[in-house]
Amino acid sequence: MNAIFSVLFLGSAIVLFFLSPEQFLPTLIDGASKSAALCFALIATYAVWLGLMNVWTDSGVTTGASRLLRPLMRRLFKTDDRQTLDAVCMNTAVNLLGISGAATAYGLTAAKRLENAEHAEYSCAMLFVLNATSIQVLPTSVIGVRTALGSANPADILLPTLLATAFSTLLGLALVRLLIPPCKRQTRQGALPLTLLKTGGTGI
Amino acid sequence: MNAIFALTVPLLFLFSFGFALFRKVKLYDSFTEGMKRAIPLVVSIFPYIASVAMLTKLLEASGLETQITQAITPAFSLFGVPTEIAPLLFIKPLSGGGAISTLTDILQRYGADSYVARCACVAYGSSETIFYIGAVYFAGSKRKKLPLALAISVFSYLASVVLCCVLCRFM
């Protein structure tokens, strides 16, 4: 992120310096104020979804939903940590429902927990690619725009969209598996003698 | 179609709250407890959203965005992607708001049911705002393979765009 940011920022700053330097600061402030407005709207969105998410946790919906998805996610993310898997499962479930506000909240929890997981490089990449190429079952905003602009059949893009989004997700998953493979039980093997030593010690 | 989605969220809340009451959850306490996390969460992601937004605005103001779009356009036509949707393909991974306004623009210009417009719609739906997600999810992350993951996402996105333009010819 640092490299991409530096290159793009400096590149456009230099161009702007020669073209219209007086626009530089207003442009930056415009961007910041747009994002401040976005954050304000996000507080409202998150308030609704985080509230509902806590109700889900307290009533056991999270545990139930994650029990369904857990076998798949355990294999996909190579982790056995219960709370991480819960967050990842709910992130996927909510993404499929198309509620991006709640998906981000679960995704952030998952990202923080995966940061120190066993196969962190692999599983963080996996989480990112899953969310970035996320499957959209109902592209509501697109259908909204098409309806507003007088399309004869606004929903006829549903099937191609579903195929394209499923394809991008599967391709992403396969590429992560191929290019960022999880290291094979290195830490486990290292940990094994230690635990043996420990139990041996208490035995004596 | 819109009617179905309009019903999804209310039903989700009705079932969730009904189920919570059935499980004897203190609904008001639980709902408000969850909301408390909203403000710290947004505060923690604000700097990352703001810097991506500033970058997007800078690219736009310096005219670099148009230049890059023009530079990559021939590559798109090589793969059978209509060049009219190139601006959308460039802005979509960077900014959600920018993408929807570009999409509206394309639909208005070429007609909502034209081939170009349908390609644009499918391309819009085939992935998320990749850079924004990267900025928010892995703010301050020490993982070294994330740029590779970013490249994988962008590549999968572009590959699916090529696929969707083929699909739009038949479907």
Nearest CA in chain B to A44: B38
Q: What is the ipTM of this complex?
A: 0.81
Greater confidence (A187 vs B15) lies with: B15
- Asked if B141 contacts B133 with a C-beta cutoff of 8 angstroms, the reply is no
Estimate to the nearest angstrom the gap between the alpha carbon of A133 and the chain centroid: 9
Rounded Cα distance between B36 and B30, Å, is: 10
Q: Taking 50 as the threshold, does the pLDDT of residue A163 lie above it? A: yes
Q: What angle do CA B40, A123, B161 make, to 5 degrees?
A: 90
Cα-trace Rg, chain A: 22
Q: What is the full per-residue pLDDT of chain B (171 aa) written as tens digits?
A: 556 667 777 888 999 999 999 999 999 999 999 999 889 888 888 888 888 888 888 888 888 888 888 888 888 888 888 888 888 888 888 877 788 888 888 888 898 888 899 899 888 888 888 888 888 887 767 788 888 898 999 999 999 999 888 888 877
- What value does the mean pLDDT take over residues A157-164? 87
Residue B77 to residues A45, A153, B121, B123, B165: CA-CA distances in angstroms? Answer: 39, 27, 18, 15, 11
**What are the CA-CA distances from residue A193 to residues A188, A196, B73 (Å)?**
9, 5, 58
B26: chain A residues, CB-CB within 8 Å: 58
Which H or E element spans position A126?
A: helix A120-132
Residue-wise pLDDT tens digits, A27-46: 999 989 988 988 888 888 88
Q: Is A204 helix (H, G, I), strand (E, B) or coil?
A: coil
Give me the pLDDT at residue A120, please: 85
Assess B72–A contact: CB distance below 8 Å, yes or no.
Answer: no
Q: Is the pLDDT of residue A13 over 50?
A: yes
Does any CB of chain B come closer than 8 Å to the CB of residue A201?
A: no
Q: How far is Cα B60 from Cα B74, in angstroms, rounded to an integer?
A: 21
User: Does the pLDDT at position A189 exceed 50?
Assistant: no
Taken in order B24, B27, B29, B34, the sign of the CA dihedral is positive
Q: Measured between CB atoms, which of A19, A132, A150 is closest to B153? A: A132
Instruction: State the average pLDDT over residues A1-18.
Output: 85
pLDDT at B75: 81
Q: What is the per-residue pLDDT for B4?
A: 65
* Banded pLDDT at A176 (limits 50, 70, 90): very high
A172 contacts on B by Cβ (under 8 Å): 152-153, 156
Tokens of A62: 């999270």
Q: Tell me the shortest Cα–Cα distance from B156 to chain A, in angstroms.
A: 5
Could you tell me if A112 lies within 8 Å of chain B, comparing CB atoms?
Answer: no
Q: Which amino acid is at B73?
A: T
Gap from A190 CA to chain B (nearest CA, Å): 21
Indicate the Cα dihedral angle A67, A137, B20, A45, nearest 10°. 120
Mean pLDDT, residues A8-21 taken together:
88
Nearest CA in chain A to B23: A59
Tokens of B118: 């349908």
Q: Residue B130 is which amino acid?
A: I
Those of residues 126-155 in A touching chain B at CB distance below 8 A are 127-129, 131-134, 136, 138-147, 149-155
Q: Which of A59, A104, A121 sits opposite B23 (nearest CB)?
A: A59
The candidate with the shortest Cα–Cα distance to B99, out of B108, B91, B90, is B91
pLDDT-derived band at A190 (thresholds 50, 70, 90) equals very low
Single-letter amino acid code for the residue at A108 = L
Say how far apart CA A199 and CA A202 lie, in whole Å: 5
The model's pTM is: 0.79
The answer, for A161 touching chain B at a CB cutoff of 8 Å, is yes
φ and ψ at residue A104, rounded to 5 degrees = -60, -45
C-alpha–C-alpha distance, residues A127 and B81, integer Å: 29
pLDDT higher than 60, residue A191: no
Q: Look at B133 and A28 and tell me if their CB atoms are within 8 Å.
A: no
Residue A9 has pLDDT above 60, yes or no: yes
Q: Which residue of B has its CA nearest to A166?
A: B126
Q: What is the mean pLDDT of chain A?
A: 82
Q: How many CB atoms lie within 10 A of CB B123?
A: 30
Determine whether the interchain pair B121/A146 forms a contact, defined as Cβ–Cβ distance below 8 Å: yes
Predicted pLDDT of residue A198: 41
Please give the structure tokens belonging to residue B57.
């605005």
HSE-CB at A60 with a 13 A cutoff on CA atoms is 9
A111 with B50: Cβ contact below 8 A: no
Burial class for A123, CB neighbours closer than 10 Å (0-12, 13-18, 19+): buried
